[in-house]
Amino acid sequence: MGLFDFLKKSSVPASVPVEEVPGTILQPIEGKIIPLADIADGVFSEGVLGNGCGVIPAAEAVYAPISGTISTVADTKHAVGIEGDGVEMLIHVGLETVSMNGKGFDVKVKEGDQVKAGQLLMTFSLNEMSKAEGVTSTSAILVTNSDDLPCCEQLFTGDGKVGTPIIKVK
């Protein structure tokens, strides 16, 4: 079991090389990018928390979608906020994951940390999510101040890797 843990950990690099494009948000989680409206939770799909898109994870790691400062880390570890270059973002991992109380989540950053696009922010467990009642892995990538910006144009849907440009902000 210890050996598997070791292998699992070593498969999540502390950063991935990405090409930063000004005014562009990069894919933070490997998987299938979907329109925000397709997220099965009104608080996201109706844009209550801001514009953005969804991702159905195919891997268990979240990388910074922009360079900036960590603005918030949920106590329950399932959501991270980041702001940079006038863009405020929230990455909310899974739906109803607040009820998991942090189980399976490992956040690598804290409030106030400076991060570079492509830097590892947290890991999570799809297995733990599948065991938790009412939880699905579909995650939201949100620009929480989208009302104040010329935002957002979705650049891409479908299967993508970390670092793919997904949203144009300005």
Binding site for other proteins (CB under 8 A): 43, 48-50, 71-72, 74-76, 79, 81, 83, 88, 90, 92, 98-99, 111, 144-145, 147
SS3 97: helix
Distance in Å, CB of 93 to other proteins, minimum: 11
Closest Cα to residue 85, out of 161, 159, 21? 21
**Which is nearer to other proteins, 16 or 62 (by Cβ)?**
62
The Cα–Cα gap between 131 and 44 comes to 23
Torsion of CA 61, 67, 71, 72, to 10 degrees: 0
Distance in Å, CB of 154 to other proteins, minimum: 20
Active-site option among 92, 137, 152, 160: 92
**Which is nearer to other proteins, 41 or 128 (by Cβ)?**
41
Residue 152: is the preceding peptide bond cis (ω within 30°)?
A: yes
Distance in Å, CB of 136 to other proteins, minimum: 15
∠ CA 29-54-165, nearest 5°, is 60
Evaluate the CA torsion angle 75, 131, 62, 6 in order and state its sign: positive
**Which is nearer to other proteins, 77 or 108 (by Cβ)?**
77
Q: Is 92 a catalytic residue?
A: yes
Distance in Å, CB of 69 to other proteins, minimum: 11
**Which is nearer to other proteins, 40 or 43 (by Cβ)?**
43
Token reading at 165: 């440009």
> Which phi and psi (to 5°) does residue 7 adopt?
-65, -40
| Enzyme catalytic residues | 92
